[in-house]
Copies of this chain bind each other. A is one copy, B any other.
Amino acid sequence: MNDSTARAAASMYERYIACLNARDWGKLGDFVATNVVHNGHALGVDGYQSMLEQNYRDIPDLYFQIDQVVTNEGQVASRLRFDCTPVDRFLGVPVNGQRVIFHEHAFYTLREGKIAEVFSVIDKAAIEAQLKSDR
Contact = CB atoms under 8 A, between A and B. Distances in A.
A92 B125 contact: yes
A20 B107 CA distance: 23
What's the interface size class on A, roughly? 20 to 34
A86 to B, nearest CB: 15
Interface stretch (A21-29, A51-59, A116-124): A116-124
Contact of A119 (B79, B91, B124): B79
Contact of A77 (B70, B92, B125): B70
Contacts of A75: 68, 70
A130 interface: no
Contacts of A105: 77, 105-107, 119, 121
Contact of A107 (B68, B72, B119): B68
Interface of A: 1-3, 6, 68, 70-72, 75-77, 79, 91-92, 103-107, 109, 119, 121-125, 128
